[in-house]
Amino acid sequence: MVIINLARRAHNHNWELDPITRSLLDTDFYKLLMLQFIWKHFPKTRASFSFINRSAQVRLADMIDVDQLREQLEQTRRLRFHKSELIWLAGNTFYGRRGIFEPAFLEWLECDFRLSDYELSTHDGQISLTFHGLWTETTLWEIYILSTINELRTRAALKDLSELELDILYARAKTRLWEKMARLRGVPCLRVSDFGTRRRHSFLWQEYVVNAMTDVLGQNFTGTSNTYLAYKHDLEAIGTNAHELPMALAAMAGDDEELKASQYRLLDLWQQTYQGELLILLPDTFGTTQFLRDAPDWVANWTGQRADSKDPFVAGDEYIAWLDEHGRDPKQKLFIASDSLDVDEILALHAYFAGTLRNGAAPSDFHQATDFLDEKKWSLERRIRFSAGWGTLLTNDFRNCNPRGDDAFDPASLVCKLNDADGRPAVKLSDNFRKALGPQDEVERYRRVFGLEGMAEIPVVT
């Protein structure tokens, strides 16, 4: 006899909404660190964010029901931080330190935090979505909206598949995940963390991936940027800060001189806020080369650097040379790569920075985990501590997994960016000319102030 759970079945048949964001902790950890920073220093600053689909060929509004998106956003706005979540934020150690969140901030999170209003519409097959309000009310929207839109797109594509096809889709994705993990398993001193919340296939898939990485990689899996998964599964929450901070401080600068100095003023404010912890540089907002060249010497005291838009082999070498110039030991510093990584590049970067290549072997030779066990090819003489922040291709690699053979599950390049702070437009140059964001005249002003040194893809004017 098979006993049916009648209550469960009736409940399942009457679902009105299957929420995507079920906890306000379901966001990147750095958003919470930055929220505390904003709450402390810029509580009255207004800031707007916009959703941007960089994969223009993916006509999101044709795939996703905008009414469902609105229901999800309304559901997210009704969420509050749970008591047990706030107790965890207060009592857990982050980067080895307890009490990283102030009691007053946690009380504000519990009693006064809210998410801003938004404007949602569709135009020519695309979703238009902006968030206006206090910076403290708009900043957290970024991750919720990205994971929500990605998952709604996933759900829409899943709807077209039969039960067998669904099973095969996940069987293939699991098979691929396993092959990737098998190549990373056993590589000495490797450090990999999950940075894939915003581009994930779905919450449940990210949870599966994070649990699998924990099981298979053990100590080599250093944690997840997803605060809720860290909370739920006793993992390290990973991340420090992002481009929105230098972008906002630059926007609010009074003149070109203040603009140039704003990138260091932010570092000063940040290290005051976190008392010497969480000191990871993100130098590419307006170009890494000018950032390092013109930085005050105390910047070299920071723990490490995250490279997000420059070729990471080049960015790491540049950082090591700069540390040498400033008399700091690179072996004690941390270099983090986080831009479109996959297994091959993670292994090659690890070999390049954490080991010394012998016999003139190229980094690209280090594509097999077994190479790392071959003492003839390399040795563990590290140049700098290296860590990989693995995003989209960890939590959303469904390429060629769809039994229907189409690209409905391929990841799309979705972002949510700061538009303005205190009414002044925000700009990001990055280390790649094509990745610049902001009004064209402001981008040009920034390029005059910061220069173009070390940037890629600069158009050739003949």
**For residues 183 and 310, which CB has a smaller minimum distance to a second copy in the complex?**
183
As measured in angstroms, the least distance from the Cβ of 403 to a second copy is 6
**For residues 7 and 460, which CB has a smaller minimum distance to a second copy in the complex?**
7
As measured in angstroms, the least distance from the Cβ of 171 to a second copy is 4
As measured in angstroms, the least distance from the Cβ of 302 to a second copy is 37
As measured in angstroms, the least distance from the Cβ of 342 to a second copy is 19
As measured in angstroms, the least distance from the Cβ of 166 to a second copy is 11
As measured in angstroms, the least distance from the Cβ of 6 to a second copy is 10
Residue 84: CA count within 13 A, CB half-sphere: 4
As measured in angstroms, the least distance from the Cβ of 376 to a second copy is 24
- CA distance linking residue 235 with residue 225, whole number of Å: 10
As measured in angstroms, the least distance from the Cβ of 170 to a second copy is 7
**For residues 173 and 334, which CB has a smaller minimum distance to a second copy in the complex?**
173
- Strand ranges of the sheet holding 385-390, from the earlier edge strand across to the other edge: 221-224, 192-194, 385-390, 334-337, 304-307, 280-281
- CA distance linking residue 34 with residue 270, whole number of Å: 9
**For residues 229 and 278, which CB has a smaller minimum distance to a second copy in the complex?**
229
**For residues 205 and 352, which CB has a smaller minimum distance to a second copy in the complex?**
205
∠ CA 425-427-429, rounded to 5°: 165
**For residues 363 and 403, which CB has a smaller minimum distance to a second copy in the complex?**
403
Residues 6+ apart with CB under 8 A from 374: none
As measured in angstroms, the least distance from the Cβ of 203 to a second copy is 16
The answer to whether the CB of 170 falls within 8 A of the CB of 202 is: no
**For residues 178 and 298, which CB has a smaller minimum distance to a second copy in the complex?**
178
**For residues 19 and 403, which CB has a smaller minimum distance to a second copy in the complex?**
403
User: SS3 sequence, 339-369?
Assistant: CCCCHHHHHHHHHHHHCEECCCCCHHHCCCH
**For residues 40 and 174, which CB has a smaller minimum distance to a second copy in the complex?**
174
Binding residues for a second copy, rule: CB under 8 A, are 3, 5, 7-8, 11, 162, 164, 167-168, 170-172, 174-175, 178, 182, 211-212, 215-216, 403
